[in-house]
């Protein structure tokens, strides 16, 4: 890869892929500090505003199932341009939304456009690498991507009081335009001779081959469950930290950003273990332990610091699972990279979209910790089953 493109282009490629993979935290995390204010501004209930987050997550899931497979046929670069244009237009529409219902629809299309960047970042990485090199590349992209969860809520907390949620969306618009311009020098990674030559109808039936691969399905489910844990935290954090623990919008943004940085740390350090399978098992066990302890923390009223310490270790575990499960899934789906990447990403956001509205039912802390516990337990069971039934050395 280095001899083919040169070091300068590789650095550019890493940065571009990391930025494209950062769409989810940008579109979901940046406006989180403004959720309570948006509830009052739209004269609605918290669950209705949380639906704007769920709608975006749904768009991030569906969009990957569109852009991923189509990139197998038409190449990565044309689909990337289309996705970024859709994101730009949907963001403009979101800014001028008169009601929460219109905003939720615009947020779906905003997520749809952002999904193109996410799915294509994994596809391009898999085009260029395989095995442990792929794991290393995904971990580096994840570390670069980790800047977004750190900066997004800080920017949101810093500006939500002064420029409001519409101002935050103007920042997202500027980011979309910038990424479109930066993506122009990108060189096509999916060569013409490797592209799918069948009809569009047959293209969208190719997913069946992946679903018949039991190992691939297990790795995808592990990734999906870990996303359920992550989005349980994301969708509830602003209400728990601001309403229950009394943090300001700015302090919430700073703390949320620091917590999110731990995901990238877990992603990088997971490669230090001799086998990726061990890292996945350990990460799933860590998520389960932290989720159970959060329930005990709430029951015994330990308070803010008990919550924060457990979130720190939980997100570290999530980072470990993200890199390992994605690498193993993409390795299994190497023959259909676009589809493989699409299913991985869509499953993650599908679980996130399901979890997000559920955390608003009843006591937000109890519902959040119960959902995290269930997702963590299932992920651990599947992880143990996956690597015992088909060992993979990467």
Q: What is the pLDDT of residues 292-348, one digit of tens each?
A: 998 888 888 778 888 899 999 999 999 888 888 888 888 888 878 889 988 988 888
- Ranges 75-84, 245-254, 295-304, most confident: 75-84
Q: What is the pLDDT of residues 373-388, one digit of tens each?
A: 999 999 999 988 865 5
Does the pLDDT value for residue 392 go beyond 50?
Answer: no
Say how many Å lie between the first and final Cα of the chain, rounded.
19
pLDDT band at 3 (very low <50, low <70, confident <90, very high): very low
Q: What per-residue confidence (pLDDT) applies to 146?
A: 62
- What average pLDDT does this structure show over 122-137? 81
Work out the average pLDDT over 208-213. 87
Select the highest-mean-pLDDT range: 43-52, 83-92, 252-261, 335-344: 83-92
Q: Residue range 161-179: average pLDDT? A: 90
pLDDT at 102: 92
pLDDT higher than threshold 50 for residue 394: no
* pLDDT, mean over the chain: 84
> What pLDDT, on a 0 to 100 scale, did the predictor assign at position 77?
92
pLDDT single digits (tens) 220-248: 999 999 989 988 888 888 888 888 888 88
- Listed in sequence order, the residues at least 6 apart from 246 whose beta carbon sits closer than 8 Å to its beta carbon are none
Domains with residue ranges and CATH for the chain: 2-184+207-389 (1.20.1250.20)
pLDDT reported for residue 150: 64
Residue pLDDT, tens place only, 278-300? 677 888 898 999 989 988 888 88
């Amino acid at each position: 890869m280095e001899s083919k493109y040169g070091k300068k282009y590789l650095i550019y490629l890493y940065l571009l892929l990391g930025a494209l993979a950062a769409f989810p935290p940008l579109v979901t995390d940046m406006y989180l500090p403004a959720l309570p204010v948006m509830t009052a501004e739209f004269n609605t209930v918290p669950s209705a505003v949380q639906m704007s987050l769920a709608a975006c997550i749904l768009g991030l899931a569906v969009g990957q199932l569109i852009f991923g497979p189509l990139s197998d046929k038409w190449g990565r670069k044309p689909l990337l341009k289309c996705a970024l244009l859709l994101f730009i237009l949907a963001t403009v529409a979101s800014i001028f939304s008169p009601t929460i219902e219109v905003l939720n629809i615009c947020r779906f299309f905003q997520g749809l456009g952002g999904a193109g960047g996410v799915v294509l970042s994994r596809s391009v990485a898999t085009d260029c690498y395989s095995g442990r090199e792929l794991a290393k590349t995904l971990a580096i992209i994840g570390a670069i991507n980790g800047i977004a969860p750190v900066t997004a809520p800080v920017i949101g907390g810093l500006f939500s009081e002064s420029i409001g949620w519409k101002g935050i969306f103007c920042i997202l618009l500027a980011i979309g335009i910038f990424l479109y311009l930066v993506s122009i020098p990108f060189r096509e990674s999916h060569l013409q001779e490797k592209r799918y030559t069948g009809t569009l109808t047959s293209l969208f039936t190719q997913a069946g081959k992946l679903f018949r691969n039991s190992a691939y399905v297990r790795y995808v489910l592990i990734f999906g469950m870990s996303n359920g844990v992550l989005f349980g935290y994301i969708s509830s954090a602003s209400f728990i930290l601001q309403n229950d623990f009394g943090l300001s919008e700015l302090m919430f943004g700073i703390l949320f950003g620091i917590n999110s940085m731990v995901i990238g740390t877990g992603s990088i350090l997971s490669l230090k273990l001799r086998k990726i399978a061990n890292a996945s098992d350990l990460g799933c066990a860590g998520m389960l332990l932290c989720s159970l302890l959060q329930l005990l923390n709430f029951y015994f009223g330990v308070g803010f610091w008990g919550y924060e310490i457990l979130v720190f270790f939980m997100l570290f575990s999530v980072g470990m699972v993200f890199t390992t499960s994605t690498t193993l899934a993409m390795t299994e789906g190497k023959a259909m990279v676009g589809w493989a990447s699409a299913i991985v990403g869509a499953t993650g956001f599908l679980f996130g979209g399901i979890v997000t509205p559920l955390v608003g039912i009843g006591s937000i802390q109890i519902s959040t910790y119960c959902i995290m516990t269930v997702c963590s337990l299932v992920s651990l069971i599947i992880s143990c089953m996956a690597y015992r039934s088909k060992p993979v050395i990467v």
